[in-house]
Structure 1
C-alpha cells in the first residue's frame, strides 16, 4: 500500500491506498480535493448542515469532513476497511459508526450531499435521481470527478436530473458541479433494471446500474459457462458453491439450473450487484438454498467451499492490473475444501496461468480464445 499526506482546508490527512505499492497512486484524487474545498466553504456558512458523502473511495472525504459527522453511503464494500485503516492513521478524525450501502441506504434528508461522479452513465443517472429524494428543498449537491473518467453524456444526465447551478473550471484535470434539487426521481424510471435473456437456464438476468455487463453476457463469462456442468455434476450432494465477484449472478444461476441441491453463495464488493443477484435468484429459483454477501472478497468466516467460480475484475478506480485477482486467488485457496476446485476465467494478457501457481499446486487450462482463458485450479 502507498501512504501520502493530503492537505485541505480542514487540515491534513495521512492516507493509505490499499492494494498497491506504486507511489504514484494516491488514496485521493483532485476531485476529492475540489469537493473538500467547496464543502468547507459551504459549511463555514452553514456549520449545522446535515451532510452525506456518497461513494467515497478510501476515506478522504469522510475523514476530512469528520468534524461535521457526515453520514456515508457507498456501493463498494471496500470503503469500510479503507476507513478503518486510514482512521487509525488520523486519530483526530473519527470514522462513522456505520457505512451504509444500497442494501440499506440512509434515511432522511440532507442539506449537503457530496458525490463522486462514477464512470457509468446509468449509475450517475441513478445517483442523481436518488439524491434528489435525499436532498432538502434548499439543499446542495456537490459532484466531482476526473475529467477523463466522466461518463458518456454526463452533461445530458445532469441537465435532465438536477438543476445545475455552477460548473467549475478544470483544476488539476478535475471538475466540480454544484447542483440544486431537480424533479427527476427513481419512481417509474426504466433505467433501474436492464438485462438479457440467458439461454440456459432460460432465465431473465437483470441488474442495477452499478453492475458490470448488465445489458449483455460478457464474452469471458460466455467462454466459462460450458465448463460449469462437469465441474458441478462431480460435486458431492448438497455441495457448497461460491459465485465470487458475482455481478448479476449469472454463474450461480447456471449452477442452480444444473443441480437444485447445491448450497449457493453469491458475493460481490458492489451492493447493487448483490441486490441484482438476489432479485434474479428469487425470481428464477425461489426455493434455492442461496445466501448473499456484500463483501470485499471472502471473509474467512464461512465454511469451506467445494467449488469457487470467479470472473475477477481487472480494474479499480482507473487502475488496470491483476492486484484484485491475486488477492481473490489467495482467499480462494484458503477457503476451498480438500477436494475443492476454483473455476475461473481471465484476460489472456494478464498471465493468470503463472499467478495461479502461487496459490495452487495444480492448474489446468480448460478453454481459451484470443482474449480470455478458462482455468481450473486446486491445491493437490
Structure 2
C-alpha cells in the first residue's frame, strides 16, 4: 500500500480509517489526483471559503487546508476521524468539518464534490448548492468513469445547472457545472413510509439505506428479535434508520436500547423514528461512532447487527469483522449476538472464529439469521 501522495513537489502522508494492519488500499483515488491537478492552475483567494463534499479520508481536505478556509462535508464519522488524524499527521491547519445536514459556508469560491455512491445524497447536495452558490463559484465534481452515467449528468443539470465533462484520466472523470439560480427549490423533506405489519412509520434522510421501503433483509430480521426479561442492555449495531432497535425496544420495555451507526444521516433518522414510534423515546439512545469503539467491556446483554459490506465505494469485510469482535468484547458473559447477512458472505465461519459457537435461527432464499453467545 502506498501511504504517500506526491504531486507538484508536495507530499502528503495519508492513512485510511479505521487503521488496519497490512492495509492494501490507499487513502485517495484517481479522482482526488485529477481534482488536485486541475485546481493547481486556479488562482485561489486565500480568504474565501473552499467547500469539499464527500472526501473519503482527507486527501482533498489536507491538500487545500493551507490555501484557503476549508469546510469539508461528510456523512461518515470514520471519514471525519481520518480528516482530523491526517491533518495532524501532516502538521496542517485544522479545517471546519460538518455533516450533510449542517448549514454550508456562504460565498465559497470553489466547490469540490466527490460523487457519492447514493444518487439520493447527490441530489440532496446539488439542491443545497443551488441555494448557496454565487454566480462566480467554480463547481467541479469527480468520479470513476464507470459510475458517471448519463443519468448522473442529468441530476447535475436538473438540480444545479449547465453541465459538461472532462476527458477520462486514470479511469476518473471530472464534471463541471455552472449554477442556475432559477433551478433553486425548497429542499426536499426526508422520505417517510409505513410498515403496517409492525405498526411503524419510518423516516429516512437522503443517505440512509433503503430509501422508501423496508429492505427484505430488515423485514426478515424483525421476526427474529428476541423478547426476554434477561436483556437489560441492547445494542442495535449499524442501526441505519433504527427500525431494528425500535422493534427491540417495543418487545423489551425493561431494556435500555443504544442504536449505533457511523452515518450522521442514519443516526438523525434513527432519532426521529424513535421519537415518532416509541411511547417512551428516552428508552432509546442514539450514538454516532465507529462500531463499538469506546463502549465499555461487559456492558450489553444483546447485540443486534446487520453489517454493511461496503465502505463508501469499496467492497470489504473488515467492518463486519470489527462489529463481531466489538460485540464479543462488549457483551456480558452469556450475552447474545444476532446477525443477519447474505448467505454468500460467510458470516457463519467468522462468528465461529470469534465466539467459538454459532447457530442458524432463521433463513430465506437470500439471507441467514445467525446467533452466537459469549
TM-score (norm 1): 0.89
Q: Which residue of 1 aligns with 2:315?
A: 320
Q: Which residue of 2 aligns with 1:197?
A: 194
5 Å-filtered alignment, 1:1-380, equals 2-9=1-8, 11-18=10-17, 25-42=25-42, 44-68=43-67, 69-91=69-91, 93-96=92-95, 98-102=96-100, 104-150=102-148, 153-164=151-162, 166-183=164-181, 184-185=183-184, 187=186, 189=188, 192-228=189-225, 231-236=226-231, 239-285=232-278, 287-288=280-281, 289-301=283-295, 304-379=299-374
**Superposition RMSD in Å:** 2.4
- Contact between 2:302 and 2:337, CA under 8 Å: does it hold in 1? yes
Contact 1:364–1:375 under 8 Å retained in 2? yes
Displacement of 1:255 in angstroms is 1.4
- Mark the CA change 1:95 to 1:232 in structure 2 (over 3 Å): closer, same or farther: farther
SS where residue 359 of structure 1 aligns? helix
Q: More deviation in 152-161 or 242-251?
A: 152-161
| Residue 317 of structure 1: how far off its partner (Å) | 3.0
Q: CA deviation at 1:108?
A: 3.5
- Residues 143, 176 of structure 1: 8 Å contact kept: yes
Deviations, residues 267-299 of structure 1 (Å, cap 9, x unaligned): 111111111111111111253212111112112
Moved more, 69-78 or 364-373: 364-373
Task: Identify if the C-alpha distance between structure 1 residues 10 and 176 changes in structure 2 by more than 3 Å, giving closer, same or farther.
Answer: farther
Distance 1:150 1:308, change over 3 A: farther
Measure the CA separation in 2 of the matches of 1:151 and 1:235.
Answer: 52
Distance in 1 (alpha carbons) for counterparts of 2:23 and 2:70: 29
Is the partner of 1:280 in helix, strand or coil?
helix
Native 8 Å contact 2:339 2:371 kept in 1: yes
* Contact 1:112 1:135 (8 Å CA) reproduced: no
Preserved contact between residue 58 and residue 83 of structure 1 (Cα < 8 Å): yes
Query: Separation in 2 of the partners of 1:21 and 1:149?
Result: 30
CA separation of 1:79 and 1:242: change in aligned 2, threshold 3 A = same
Q: Please state how far the C-alpha of 1:104 moved relative to its aligned partner.
A: 4.1
Give the distance between the partners of 2:108 and 2:354, measured in 1 at CA.
47
2: distance between equivalents of 1:324 and 1:57?
Answer: 16
Per-residue deviation at 1:47?
3.5
Pick which of 312-321 and 72-81 moved more: 312-321
Q: Which moved more, 1:103-112 or 1:67-76?
A: 103-112
Is there any run of 5+ residues in structure 1 with no aligned partner, and where?
A: none
Q: Specify the SS of the correspondent of 2:139.
A: strand
Quick one: distance in 2 between partners of 1:70 and 1:107?
A: 9
Equivalent-residue separation in structure 2 for 1:117 and 1:100 (angstroms): 17
| Cα offset, 1:256, TM superposition | 2.5
Distance (whole Å) between structure 1 residues aligned to residue 320 and residue 23 of structure 2: 21
Q: Report if aligned partners of 1:103, 1:275 keep a CA contact under 8 Å in 2.
A: no
Once residues 181 and 27 of structure 1 are traced to their aligned partners in structure 2, the CA distance between those partners, rounded to angstroms, is 30
Structure 2 stretches lacking a partner, 5+ long: none
Which shifted more, 367-376 or 147-156?
147-156
Contact 2:48 2:107 in 1 (8 A): no
